[in-house]
A = this chain, B = another copy of it.
Amino acid sequence: MWWTLPCARVTPYRCISDGTDGPRAFSLLHEINMSVEELEKKKTIDLRKKYIGPSCKIFFSHDPIKIVQAKGQYMYDEKGQRYLDCINNVAHVGHCHPEVVKAGAEQMGFLNTNTRFLHDNLVLYAQRLQATLPDKLSVCYFVNSGSEANDLALRLAWHYTGNKDIITLENAYHGHVSSLIDISPYKFHQLSDAEQNQFVHVAPSPDVYRGKYRTDHPDAATAYADDVKDITDNVHKKGRKIAAFIAESLQSCGGQVIPPAGYFQQVAEHVHKAGGVFIADEVQVGFGRVGSHFWAFQLQGDDFVPDIVTMGKPIGNGHPMSCVVTTREVAEAFMSSGMEYFNTFGGNPVSCAIGLAVLDVIEKEDLQGNALHVGQYLINLLEKQKEKHPLIGDIRGRGLFVGVELVKDREKLTPATAEAQEVIYKLKEQHILLSADGPHRNVLKFKPPLCFTTEDADLVVEKIDLILKELEEALGLKVNNSLNTENEKRRRKLSTDEKEHGGLNHSNKGVEQTKQRKRMKT
């Protein structure tokens, strides 16, 4: 009677047919056992239009992709066409990683219930996660999504500090629940002033390429942190009080922004003095993606420890789960409110089994090491492209979190928004999935599964090279050779030296560029 998982190769779940002639045979292509398509693509599109909220956007809306299967860093459409996936950071250890699937499938057959019962998976997983963090971050809350995690982080901060006001970064995105729209300028800039929440204060994005203080600034980290201090001072003058500063450790939707080293330390000092806590949002960038460290906030140095860390997307390789980790002090304050915290699905044995399997795979396959190695390889390839392509304004990244900012003019930094879209669409035609984001939608975002290889990097950069060449020819753009001389070479050398010290690529690059700009202006 007890059900066992099937011995034969898996077949997709099939539901009641929709008046069509039944499942259409699916050609066997590549090395994988392909899936069966249920509906003609047009029918899928029609049903989606009919039944799914129109605010839920699809990639390539004029000709969306129907994906039926995925493996590693590849996705497959209904015709068996393979796509190289450079964007799905959720499929962190590779799409449908067998060990993760096995862990989830087996635990689903045993027990899937809530945390009001004792279960080993919960505590062993919490212990394993904690071991990746500084000692002080020791108390876990398991929830279902990055949004739930960030919302809980706000609740923890509010209870612990007794204060209400939040400082967030320009262009930040922290999730889709209402409390997070309030602190996500990436979202709320679309709202009227009246709709924006008065307890939220926006600090400049620490973007040393396009931001308020650039690489020509003698100390951009301090300058950006001082702006946060100014906010805390102004808030106090208004008789309000700071509960928290929240930032992604590296800003993702905001344009793959890498804050200058030392920024978080100084911000934390200002925020603590103002009575608030520091929330590091690792939803997009955690779990070894940055290569040199397991958590992106660690790029700032060992002397920086946030008060609350939130996790999400990659944590379960696609399974809906997430986590908030904080200090004992914050956790005790939250408890002292007397309000129980219960999350129906959070921390269930299946989610924890999957979470443990993801950690196992990262370790066993040294995916963090791969992110460091392949990420640097990719950045080096892209740097070479920059010498050839005037459309490339900036290359920035850590591990397999890389941004390529396209500009029409390297001096004025005019965003090449349409061109970035063109690159994305042309890559799609060549079966490579990449996206563009940032406030001007001109930053090509690389955030592939961590099993991405140097060959994959070669392929995508080769295609980008050709697309940019065509675009530049059409636009009549040529690279200004004066921008690609000794200074650029020196910058790249610096960049390599800095990498070895775990520093930030940006620190001197802009100084050189600005000197150059000044020279060109005179």
Chain A interface residues (CB < 8 Å from chain B) = 1-13, 15-16, 18, 31-33, 35, 37-39, 41, 44-45, 47-48, 50-59, 64-71, 75, 88, 90-91, 95-96, 98, 101-128, 130, 138-141, 144-148, 151-152, 154-155, 158, 176-179, 181, 187, 190-191, 312-313, 317-321, 326, 331-332, 334-335, 337-348, 350-351, 353, 356-357, 360
Inter-chain CA distance A187–B337, complex, in Å, is 11
CB A337 to nearest CB in B, in angstroms, measures 7
| B2 engages A31 (CB within 8 Å) | yes
Inter-chain CA distance A377–B126, complex, in Å, is 43
Identical subunits present: 2
CB A447 to nearest CB in B, in angstroms, measures 13
Known contacts A5-B6, A10-B106, A179-B178; A331/B53 CB under 8 A:
yes
Which residue of chain B has its CB nearest to the CB of A351? B320
- A151 contact set on B, CB distance < 8 A: 177-178
| B113 engages A88 (CB within 8 Å) | yes
Inter-chain CA distance A52–B116, complex, in Å, is 12
- Residue picked from A108, A109, A126, A319, most chain B C-beta under 10 Å: A109
| A335 engages B54 (CB within 8 Å) | yes
Inter-chain CA distance A360–B115, complex, in Å, is 27
Which residue of chain B has its CB nearest to the CB of A120? B38
Known: A18-B124, A53-B334, A112-B317. 13 other contacts (CB 8 A): A4-B9, A5-B5, A13-B356, A13-B357, A16-B128, A18-B127, A39-B124, A50-B127, A56-B347, A67-B113, A95-B113, A148-B148, A151-B177
Inter-chain CA distance A318–B114, complex, in Å, is 8
Inter-chain CA distance A513–B55, complex, in Å, is 52
- A125 contact set on B, CB distance < 8 A: 15
CB A347 to nearest CB in B, in angstroms, measures 8
- A128 contact set on B, CB distance < 8 A: 15-16
A140 contacts which of B41, B53, B106, B342 (Cβ < 8 Å)?
B53
| B343 engages A118 (CB within 8 Å) | no
A110 contacts which of B45, B68, B105 (Cβ < 8 Å)?
B68
- A110 contact set on B, CB distance < 8 A: 10, 12, 35, 68-70, 96
- A31 contact set on B, CB distance < 8 A: 1-2
- A120 contact set on B, CB distance < 8 A: 37-39, 44
Known contacts A117-B65, A140-B53, A151-B177; A124/B38 CB under 8 A:
yes
| A96 engages B118 (CB within 8 Å) | no
- Residue picked from A56, A127, A176, most chain B C-beta under 10 Å: A56
Known contacts A59-B116, A140-B51, A145-B144; A121/B320 CB under 8 A:
no
| A52 engages B98 (CB within 8 Å) | no
- A187 contact set on B, CB distance < 8 A: 339
| B345 engages A51 (CB within 8 Å) | no
Q: 22 A-B contacts, Cβ less than 8 Å apart?
A: A2-B9, A3-B101, A5-B5, A15-B360, A18-B127, A50-B138, A51-B130, A53-B140, A53-B141, A55-B339, A57-B340, A58-B118, A65-B117, A66-B118, A90-B345, A91-B113, A96-B111, A147-B177, A176-B343, A178-B179, A320-B320, A320-B346
Known contacts A53-B331, A339-B190; A104/B102 CB under 8 A:
no
- A155 contact set on B, CB distance < 8 A: 178, 181
- A319 contact set on B, CB distance < 8 A: 112, 320, 345, 350
A337 contacts which of B4, B7, B44, B190 (Cβ < 8 Å)?
B190
Inter-chain CA distance A502–B460, complex, in Å, is 63
| B51 engages A107 (CB within 8 Å) | no
Inter-chain CA distance A353–B38, complex, in Å, is 13
| B16 engages A126 (CB within 8 Å) | no
Inter-chain CA distance A317–B350, complex, in Å, is 12
CB A85 to nearest CB in B, in angstroms, measures 9
Inter-chain CA distance A33–B109, complex, in Å, is 10
A47 contacts which of B1, B124, B148 (Cβ < 8 Å)?
B124
Known contacts A2-B32, A96-B108, A139-B51; A113/B70 CB under 8 A:
yes
